[in-house]
Amino acid sequence: MLLAQLSVRSGGFGNGSGDFLLPCRAMTEPASADAASPGVGDHAEIIEREAGLHRNLTPRQLSMIAIGGAIGTGLFLGSAISVRLAGPGVIFSFLAAAAIAVCLMWALAEMTVAHPVAGSFGVYAEMYVHPWAGFAMRYSYWLGQVIATGSEVLAASIYCRHWFPNVPSWMWIVGFSAALVYVNARSVASFGEFEYWFAMIKVLTITLFLILGASLLFGIGFPPIGIANYTGHEGFLPNGWQGVALGVAMAIFSFLGVEIVAVTSGEAKDPSTALPRALRWTLGRMGLFYVGGLAIVVGIVPWNEVGLGESPFVRVFEIVGIPAAAGVMNFVVLTAALSSVNCNLYLMSRMLFSLSRGGYAPAALGRLSARGTPLAALLVSSMGMFAALFVDHWFHARAYVYMLGSAFLAGIFVWQMIFVTHLLFRRRTAKWTRPPLRLAPRGPWSSAFGLMGLTAVLISTWWVPGLRITLEAGVPWLVFISLCYLVWRKVRSRKFSDGALQDG
């Protein structure tokens, strides 16, 4: 299946089972529309319940974490899908996806600076939309990260076969999993430093690719390739604008993960200045890497040959004459997979931590270790990773692909709800005496554009080969998680009425 070959970086679920022995108070409306300290006075209870995490992530780490979360093996190996749909017109597909991602990051930056908490967009949806939205977003995101981690650690074991074909896959899976769980369990600073260097390898590889690719196109030290591959092979738009439109779905898939920088806000040093800087840095480089990288790919390799046997990145390195190009790229995609696992473990543990502190999961998952890490939430999330691997091994052709489809829908659903939340955030905070930082243009237009664009992308997945499962599996998932919320609310209300829970 198409999705089984790609790296999933979105979505999430947890069943929230167990006894809710929760000391946390229920979320309340802002204490005053005229609060003097937006983000503190307005939602003091939200900030209080998510407190305790150590703010040790530096600006340089935040920027690299965002890049590491968004750039996975999908760019190196899975970008061929978009190229086969749109031809050289894939440049327009990724420009459209980048425009939506820019609007998303504007929206996230404004809300994150106002409320720097670990639950991030899930907490914002709870505050400004409805508790159901916060419940559904965080659990959906958690499930997607479980699936992503399972698929990435499995991919890492496959990449290791290139050098060690006789070593069983399970040994790599166990070894990588244990090592990265240990890194995350030590401290957030340890996670940040490891992710910084993981992401640096990807950044350097893509930068080298862009330089070498441009040299091949323009004939700097090599015979010039020129524009022949842009205009030949049925032209720049071989499948018309319909192909470009369908290519946007896979482009959005590639951008999923940039929202990780908002999740790190609960552990960032000086989030009011570091987060906007990290978001701007991330957007600029993401646009260059994705749009520039694919422009070079379709300029050097005929679009109808991309994806037939090897990564387009390997092809460029081989043309340049880099020794052992396949081995070099195998190392790069291995580090890309491990980087994604590292990020996903961080995200999963923070989502469960936030759910627990909000009253949506067992209280034990909201406790912190002496080093300030949600260790119980991390261990539960890592067990989910092994469960995903079990499902992949035994039910790969059936259940697992439905999980992947649910995860892809969850990613788009989370982005859509971020835009909805931002629209309501703008309306509510307009009444504050000291409005929060504004990064998006005035008015609702950027978030409205992003919301409409994502809705069109979601509908288009019905006609994208391999992505129809997104709607077939994802919509039932949203129905299921909504039923879970209704059951949780009924149980919680009954405990309140019985005096089992104390408010405040």
pLDDT at 480: 92
Split at pLDDT 50, 70, 90, the class of 465 is confident
What does the pLDDT average to over 267-286?
73
Residue 82 has a pLDDT of 79
Count Cβ neighbours within 10 Å for each residue of 355-368 and write b for 16 or more, e otherwise: bbbbbbbbbebbeb
Q: What is the pLDDT of residue 158?
A: 79
Q: Please determine, for residue 305, whether its predicted confidence score (pLDDT) is greater than 50.
A: yes
Res 406: pLDDT: 65
Residue 451 has pLDDT above 90, yes or no: yes
Mean pLDDT of 320-337: 79
Asked if 271 and 265 touch (Cβ cutoff 8 Å), the reply is yes
Residue 484, sorted as left (phi over 0), alpha (psi -120 to 50) or beta, turns out to be alpha
pLDDT at residue 39 tops 70: no
Angle at 22 between CA 18 and CA 25, to 5 degrees: 140
28-37, 125-134, 350-359: range with lowest mean pLDDT: 28-37
pLDDT bin (cut points 50, 70, 90) of residue 72 is: low
Average pLDDT over residues 26-53: 49
Specify the range with the lowest mean pLDDT, choosing from 40-44, 80-84, 241-245, 409-413: 40-44
| pLDDT at residue 46, rounded to an integer | 63
pLDDT at 403: 62
DSSP code for 444: S
**Is pLDDT of 346 > 90?**
no
Which segment of 135-149, 189-203, 317-331 scores lowest on mean pLDDT?
317-331
Name the most confidently modeled range: 259-263, 354-358, 395-399, 451-455. Answer: 451-455
pLDDT of res. 486: 93
| 17-26, 108-117, 165-174, 187-196: least confidently modelled range | 17-26
Averaged confidence pLDDT in the chain: 77
Considering only residues 224 and 95, tell me which one the structure prediction assigns the higher pLDDT: 95
pLDDT at residue 483 greater than cutoff 90: yes
Mean pLDDT throughout 367-371? 84
Greatest mean pLDDT among 147-156, 161-170, 270-279, 495-504: 161-170
Higher-pLDDT residue of 395, 471: 471
- Find out whether 94 and 391 touch, Cβ atoms under 8 Å: no
Residues in a beta bridge with 79: none
Q: Is the dihedral of CA 468, 472, 478, 484 positive or negative?
A: negative
pLDDT tens-digit map of 373-391: 889 999 998 887 777 667 6
> What are φ and ψ of residue 57, in 5° steps?
-85, 125
**Portion of the chain with pLDDT greater than 90, in percent:** 13
Q: Residue 160 has what pLDDT?
A: 87
Kindly state the DSSP code that residue 441 receives in the 8-state scheme.
Answer: P
Question: What pLDDT score was predicted for residue 402?
Answer: 62
The pLDDT score that the predictor gives to residue 504 is 41
pLDDT in tens, 190-234: 888 888 888 888 888 888 888 888 888 888 877 888 888 888 888
Q: What percent of the chain has pLDDT over 70?
A: 79
pTM of the model: 0.81
Average pLDDT, integer, range 46-66 = 69
Q: Which of 102-111, 191-200, 346-355 has the lowest mean pLDDT?
A: 191-200
Would you say residue 101 has pLDDT above 50? yes
Q: Residue 18 pLDDT > 50, yes or no?
A: no
What one-character-per-residue DSSP string does 20-58 give? ----PPPP---S-TT-SSTTTTTTHHHHHHTTT----B-
Nearest-angstrom CA–CA distance, 286 and 291: 8
Amino acid 40: pLDDT: 43
For the ranges 156-165, 173-182, 321-330, the maximum mean pLDDT occurs at 173-182
Residue 31, both tokens: 């204490």
How many C-beta neighbours within 10 Å does residue 168 have?
A: 10
Under DSSP, the state recorded for 268 is B
Residue 363: pLDDT band with limits 50, 70, 90: confident
The answer on pLDDT for 33 being more than 50 is no
- What is the DSSP track for 323-389? TTHHHHHHHHHHHHHHHHHHHHHHHHHHHHHHHHHHTSS-GGGG---TTS--HHHHHHHHHHHHHHH
Residue 421 has a pLDDT of: 95
C-alpha to C-alpha distances, 280 to 59, 203, 347, nearest whole angstrom: 12, 16, 21
Inform me whether the pLDDT recorded for 293 exceeds 60: yes
The answer to which of 66-70, 172-176, 205-209 has the lowest mean pLDDT is: 66-70
- Residue 146's DSSP bridge partners are none
Tokens of 112: 């994150």
**pLDDT band at residue 28, thresholds of 50, 70 and 90?**
very low
CB atoms within 10 A of CB 424: 18
